[in-house]
Amino acid sequence: MELFDSHAHLDDEKFNEDREAIIRKLKDEGITKLVSAGYSLESSKKAEELAKKYDFIYPTVGISPNDIPQTKEELWKMLEEIRKMAQLNQKIVAIGEIGLDYYWNQENKEMQKEAMMQQIEIANELNLPIVIHTREAVMDTLTILKKKVVKQKGIFHCCPLNPELVKEALKLGFYISFAGPVTFKNSKNANEVITMVPEEKMLIETDSPYLSPEPLRGRRNDPRNVKFIAQKIAQVKGISLEEVARITYQNAERIFSM
């Protein structure tokens, strides 16, 4: 059985002590492809470096809503660097993570929207999908996606378990990526949302080192734990773990054009 972790942050400082050791163990645990997701200029560069070193790791590059600079001038410079990186490196599989986050940042909503729209343009220019982060910004996120065509669509990463969001995202042609929260005992709507998402639109991810799934909640997460998300989906959909692994692997390869 092979597993594809469609979103992890192996560049995070929480892996500084044992990053190489963990990466060496992944294939033995069945994780044979992995996306290292950029969220800032620095992390995007680190994701690129990891992907150069390991053939089964693929980077995304982007500026997340939680990493927007203070001024538009700084933002334009960052976005131009992101564009150049994605133009020059054929291994980059998406622009992201991008989006809106009104939980952590409410004072710069307009800059967040501008950054998201500009990065959609970069993705369209380069025929890449986008990876979307949205938190407490569902309506504005959907408004942008309904107004601004995304040629290659993309993924709602660690998708909020909001049935209305999922319904609209699916209508727009996006994939839904499930992470640790679907396994939490107090997670609302998890079963409903998993049931809503057709097999051909579902992905699995860890968002490592964050959001460890049950039964490891509270510990540092890493890509080996993606199997717990797959197990939850298998249980809810009434199919085998192997089938979930196969379907989500194929879906990830499809959206990332591998």
The per-residue pLDDT for range 160-200, each reduced to its tens digit, is 999 999 999 999 999 999 999 999 999 989 999 999 999 99
Tell which residue, 193, 159, 192, has the closest CA to residue 175. 159
Distance CA 176, CA 154 (A): 9
DSSP secondary-structure letter at 207?
-
* Average pLDDT rounded to a whole number, residues 75-85: 98
Q: How confident is the model at residue 119 (pLDDT cuts 50, 70, 90)?
A: very high
Q: How confident is the model at residue 96 (pLDDT cuts 50, 70, 90)?
A: very high
Maximum Cα–Cα distance across the chain: 51
Residue type, 80: E
pLDDT for res 177: 98
* Average pLDDT rounded to a whole number, residues 133-141: 97
Separation in Å, CA 228 to CA 4, 178, 184, 223:
13, 11, 11, 10
Distance CA 176, CA 132 (A): 10
The per-residue pLDDT for range 16-74, each reduced to its tens digit, is 999 999 999 999 999 999 999 999 999 999 999 999 999 999 999 999 999 999 999 99
pLDDT for res 173: 98
pLDDT for res 144: 98
